[in-house]
Amino acid sequence: MMVFISNNKILYVRLSKLHQRYKYNVTISWHVFRISTVLNSPNMHFDINKFYSTAYNWILAFGPRLIAAIIFFVVAQWTIRILKRGMNKALFKKNISSSLKPFLVSLTAAILQVLTVLVVLQILNLRLTIFTAIVGGISVAAGLALSGTLQNFTSGVLILLLKPYRSGDTIVAQGYEGIVKSIQIFYTLINTYDNKTVVVPNSKLSNEVIVNLSRETTRRLDISLKLGFGIDFDKIKNVVNDTIKNFPGITSNPKPDLGIAEVLADGYRVELNVWVSSKDFHKLRNSLQEKLICDMKKAEIKLPGT
């Protein structure tokens, strides 16, 4: 049985009466006539059975996909939360830097969320061509705009993972020597010996040579002395050996070494090599040079410029 909500007969009859009533009012009469004409149009017929049939078919065709998509989305969110907790525990056991942990967890969660959305759209059988094109365009634009920043971010992650240097290490990089104050995701802070803070992008540090002066526990200290030909080398050797023998901070293994490094036109150059603790290198270098000069003066050895 076909059921029509057609012509809206009652409303149409009333509008016809209004049209007769206000036929002398041109404006009202015209609007009433237009409304009644539209209501009497065949396009206003509404087949409720057809509506029910269409809705039923749509539910049969799309309903299972919608239910499956909702179930997958809920399970995916639950799984992502479990994975995040597992990653936090695993990174804690691996002793990963505290500044790197949240970034790794957040990045992994974001990637999984994007994959979840793509799978849900696929389950719903929605066309992904336009979506993929939009995402691709945004990705290219973001990549071009943030290429330097992304490179610094990637380099920061690699530095925190591979640990070529750590906070507190003394390094030489980009022409600066100092102590690593902190390692951030995008840059590294170096505190020089004259108390300057140098901000170095991580991409520079990951792509160029870094000298880590703190990786080894000991470091060789080289001191060079220029002497005239009139000064006997054996006398110099005895004075230097006595100095370093009683000097604190010099290791016995490897043994200190003293020799003539270069013969010049007006004399010769003596080089002393001793091994000291890496963390005390600069302090011992200054104090040892001072001690050598004092002992040579006591031994009445004439130094250049005196």
Report the CATH number that the domain containing residue 238 is assigned in CATH: 3.30.70.100
Pairwise CA distance, residues 17 & 39, whole Å: 15
For residues 264 and 23, the model is more confident at: 264
* Residues 277 and 239 occupy one common structural domain: yes
Average pLDDT of span 112-131? 78
The residue from 145, 179, 203 where one domain ends is: 145
DSSP-derived secondary structure letter, 23: T
Q: 181 and 246 share a domain? A: no
**CATH code at 205?**
2.30.30.60
Query: Which amino acid, residue 42?
Result: P
Q: Which of 38-52, 148-162, 172-186, 280-294 has the lowest mean pLDDT?
A: 38-52
Of 57-66, 179-188, 195-204, 250-259, the poorest mean pLDDT is in 57-66
Shared domain for 222 and 246, answered yes or no, is yes
The verdict on pTM exceeding 0.75 is no
Backbone angles phi, psi at 191, to 5 degrees: -100, 110
Which helix (H) or strand (E) segment holds residue 187: the answer is strand 187-192
Asked if residue 128 is part of any domain, the answer here is yes
Average pLDDT, the chain: 78
Count of Cβ atoms closer than 10 Å to residue 188 Cβ: 27
User: Which pLDDT belongs to residue 179?
Assistant: 92
- Hey, which residues does 263 pair with through a beta bridge? 268
At residue 151 the predicted structure's pLDDT band, cuts being 50, 70 and 90, is confident
Residue 294 within any structural domain of the chain? yes
Residue 2 domain flag: no
Does 275 reside within a domain?
A: yes
Dihedral, 59, 60, 66, 72 alpha carbons, nearest 10: 160
In a domain, 138, yes or no: yes
Residue 32 has pLDDT above 70, yes or no: no
Residue 244: inside a domain: yes
pLDDT tens-digit readout, 229-240? 888 888 989 999
- Residue 176 confidence (pLDDT): 92
Domain check: are 283 and 264 in the same one? yes
Range of the domain at 30: 9-44
Same domain for 134 and 54? Answer: yes
Asked if pLDDT for residue 5 goes beyond 50, the answer is no
Is residue 303 in a domain? Answer: no
Within this chain, do residues 73 and 131 fall inside the same structural domain, yes or no? yes
The pLDDT of 246-264, averaged and rounded, is 88
Q: Residue 153: inside a domain, yes or no? A: no
Least confident of 7-21, 101-115, 242-256, 266-280: 7-21
For 55-106, how does the pLDDT look when each residue is reduced to its tens digit (9 = 90+)?
767 777 777 888 888 999 999 999 999 998 888 888 777 666 666 677 677 7
Number of folded domains that form the chain: 4
Q: Are residues 177 and 253 in the same domain?
A: no
Q: What's the pLDDT at 3?
A: 39
